[in-house]
Structure formats: structure tokens, C-alpha cells
A and B are shown apart, each in its own frame.
Chain A
Amino acid sequence: GAGVSQTPSNKVTEKGKYVELRCDPISGHTALYWYRQSLGQGPEFLIYFQGTGAADDSGLPNDRFFAVRPEGSVSTLKIQRTERGDSAVYLCASSTPGGGPTEAFFGQGTRLTVV
């Protein structure tokens, strides 16, 4: 497909477990973003990649959260020792490179539920 793909679409996990969420951006998009969206709120920035490197990880809430993008394409968001408060929709977006931010294209998100 031509869009941003996220897997799984839904994930239910027990408190304390480790989860990985995957994002496959639009081909050729070097900028990749992870956001978290809770019910009734707008997307909250987590981390931004330009190519393989995390250009800005200031939105990661604590050290249980980590993300990688080893080859500059697919990215994985990793959450250790999950807590019930981590339950949310995790959105990934990608955009084209350029002199400034252009349109961000979003995947359909992974709905994470920690029980």
C-alpha cells in the first residue's frame, strides 16, 4: 500500500509486560513521528526521526519508552514494564523532507490496552 502502515492495529497486554509497536512509513519519507492519543485529546508528540537518528525524543514520557529506526525506514516503538496509564492509541506519521514541516501522513494507529 501507499500509506503509512502500523501493526498491530490492536494490542492488549498485561501490566508489566513488554510491547513493540511497528510503523512502516510512506516510501521515501525520511521524517517519521510517533504520537500518543488518549480519548478526547489531540495527538501528543513522543519522538521524531530524521533518517535513522532520533532528532527529537523530548516527548518520550520516561525511560520505559524507546524507539528505533535502524535502516531509516521502519520504526519500532518499544514500551517496557507497561502500566495501565500507557493505554492509548499510538499514531505514527511520516512526511517528506524539505525546508520546513510539510503535511504529515498518519497511519491508522495501534490501540494499546494495558490490563
Chain B
Amino acid sequence: RKEVEQDPGPFNVPEGATVAFNCTYSNSASQSFFWYRQDCRKEPKLLMSVYSSGNEDGRFTAQLNRASQYISLLIRDSKLSDSATYLCVVAGGNQFYFGTGTSLTVIP
């Protein structure tokens, strides 16, 4: 079983839409959680960390459910510039485990 599972998509949404990505992880001892964004042929970059209480950064909201071992990312009012692959990342024991990524295309 993979450490981190994500729906690969693709998600094609119109500008202004709200879209949600989900991710599950297998190791209950995992310590830290992140969402990374990766543009085509570029390196992954941190979008936001995910905290147990949930956290928001502008149009982006991340939530963590430790009991269900589930992480989510909500993007409101999607922009064309949000088109990218979103990687769910779970860290523990000094390792970072990546999901396969969810592809998002925002359509004008």
C-alpha cells in the first residue's frame, strides 16, 4: 500500500469555481503534512503546511483529520494561474512521502 494516496484527476474547472482535493495517508505516526504545487517541468514548491486545527491562506484552505488519516485542500474562486499539479506530502521519521499529485486545469 502506498504511503500517500491521491486522486490523480485531472480536474478541469471553470474560472471562479471552487475545487477540493483529497488525500489519505497510511502511517498514523506521521508528524507533518503539506500541500506542494508543481508546475509543468518545474520543481515542487510549498503551497501550505496543514495543521490539525485547519488553516487558511487567502483562497486556499487546508484541513487535516488525524482520526481518518485524511487531508484536504480547498481552492475557492479558481484563477487561471492555479492550473498546476497539487502534491499531498506527509512527513515522518525525517522522510517526506509524496502522493502522485492531482492535476488541475482552470478553464477561462
Contacts and interface: CB of A to CB of B under 8 A. Distances in A.
B2 to A, nearest CB: 9
Contacts of A33: 95-96
Contacts of B95: 33, 45, 48, 56, 101
Contact of B96 (A40, A50, A93, A107): A93
Given A42-B87, A43-B44, A106-B44, A101 B98 contact: no
**Chain B: number of interface residues, binned into ranges:** 20 to 34
Given A40-B100, A93-B96, A103 B46 contact: yes
- Main secondary structure on B side of the interface with A: strand
- The residue among A33, A93, A106, A108 with the most chain B CB atoms within 10 A of its own CB is A106
B94 A31 contact: yes
A85 interface: no
B92 interface: yes
Contacts of A62: none
**Chain A: number of interface residues, binned into ranges:** 20 to 34
Nearest to B3: A45
B98 A42 contact: yes
A24 to B, nearest CB: 14
Interface of A: 31, 33, 35, 40-45, 48, 50, 55-56, 91, 93, 100-109
The 3 closest A-B pairs by CB, nearest first: A101-B91, A42-B98, A106-B43
Given A33-B96, A43-B98, A103-B34, 17 more contacts: A35-B98, A40-B8, A41-B100, A41-B101, A42-B4, A42-B6, A42-B87, A42-B98, A44-B98, A50-B94, A91-B43, A91-B44, A100-B32, A103-B46, A106-B44, A107-B43, A109-B43
